[in-house]
Amino acid sequence: MNEKVEAVKTVYPHFDLNVASMNALRDAKKTDNKYERFHYIMTSMLFCSFTIEAYINHVGNTRLNFWGSIKKNIGPQEKLEILASIFNYKLDKGKKPFQTLKSIIKFRNLMVHAQSEVISDYTDKNNPETPLSNWEKMVTQKNAENYSNDTIEMLRII
């Protein structure tokens, strides 16, 4: 019988979540299939929100004794405001990258609370388009690239 020893590691989920987001964005650029691209972009955008919240929690857990008692009761925006006030860094929500955070959180919330719905809209008779839900309208290559770039920049600042 082999002797057992304790193995220990520290897990940094924000790193893996960000890699997953970047890989999905990379794969979206590679595919010619519009349905695959849509789902890769959606995945990338959603994982940006996970990355930000995981990193905010990482900073809070490692630097603030009281973080464990508040982290389940407040959202990522409020958590970030607490960190910014305690560590005295500028959180300008009117400028990139933090300007994008509102949209990232909105998208995350739309996805987390998504439900089946019937959508109707008026469209051109000669060139009809299928109506889109609010979250589907947000799933664009441009948004995914903005989310990804601004997520990385926010992590650098935080």
Phi, psi at residue 67, to the nearest 5°? Answer: -55, -40
Q: Is residue 1 part of a domain?
A: no
Q: Is residue 32 part of a domain?
A: yes
Q: Is residue 125 part of a domain?
A: yes
Q: Is residue 2 part of a domain?
A: no
Q: Is residue 5 part of a domain?
A: no
Domain with 33 in it: 13-63+75-157
Task: Render pLDDT for 20-32 as a digit per residue (tens, 0 to 9).
Answer: 999 999 999 999 9
Q: Is residue 30 part of a domain?
A: yes
The three-point CA angle 52-106-135 to 5° equals 120
Return the residue matching tokens 């609010």. 134
CA distance linking residue 48 with residue 151, whole number of Å: 6
Largest Cα separation within the chain, whole Å, is 75
Q: Is residue 128 part of a domain?
A: yes
CA distance linking residue 113 with residue 93, whole number of Å: 24
Pick from 157, 137, 150: nearest CA to 49: 150
Q: Is residue 70 part of a domain?
A: no
Residue 89 neighbours by CB distance under 10 Å = 10
Task: Spell out the per-residue pLDDT of the chain, length 158, in tens.
Answer: 789 999 999 999 999 999 999 999 999 999 999 999 999 999 999 999 999 999 999 999 999 999 999 989 999 999 999 999 999 988 889 999 999 999 999 999 999 999 999 999 888 889 888 999 999 999 999 999 999 999 999 999 99
Domain tally for the chain? 1
Task: Render pLDDT for 56-65 as a digit per residue (tens, 0 to 9).
Answer: 999 999 999 9
